[in-house]
Amino acid sequence: MQKNIVFEDSHIIVVYKPAGIATQTARLGQQDMVSELKNYLAAKAERAVPSAPYLGVIHRLDQPVSGILVFAKTKQAASCLGRQIADGVFRKYYYAVVHGRPEREQGRLEDYLYKDGRTNLSRIVDQGFPDAKRAVLEYSLIETLMVLEPWQETSLIKISLLTGRHHQIRLQMANAGMPLLGDHKYGSEQDRQLSREIGLKNVALCAYRLQFRHPAAGGEVCFEQTPEEEIFRPFFNREI
């Protein structure tokens, strides 16, 4: 677990979650970040009487998505970070690899999303739809590369998430004609076929940057990490 820790003090712990690992799960025998962190913190504290250390879950990433997460180590820190999310001052930035090249190099997507609890899928609906929630993000094209033969375009997109809805990036980008590679829930059959051909098992989405006010010191802090997954390497490593 220590190799995944980006930053730690007495108030927060910031970690990099690899794709394929759940943020938190109740399934027996399945690895998740919360359990791993609690084990790490308990071992670090060398407690004489076994007890679970406090770990506040502030936000989550889907299991097939990688990236930076911040957890609170005190209830006060959790409350402060929760308020920042509610007030919109907790900022999250992502890299995504999409199939094709966007028609517009930058833009803003604003939709209303409804989560179907029975299928664990979201869909875009009209504003007046019951339980619909406003979803907003901004994106910009970083670079387009070609893969496989016959050559197909794939693009690295930078995304600023302005609201945090269920599967928001995956759904909004697919709806706007920019489906994420590896996304078998919202991509088309053509997208899924390309993902299979390049051996991609997880969603090509990484939360590479978090920006918020430190819950104790009060100043703005920013944590950033280059995506580790292979699908991102051609865009960041020119030796490949």
Q: Provide the sign of the torsion angle of the four alpha carbons 215, 16, 89, 219, taken in this order.
A: positive
Is 62 an active-site residue?
yes
Rounded Cα distance, 32 and 20, in Å = 9
Which residue out of 9, 32, 62, 131 is catalytically annotated?
A: 62
Contact 72, 78 (CB under 8 A): yes
Name the residues annotated as catalytic.
62
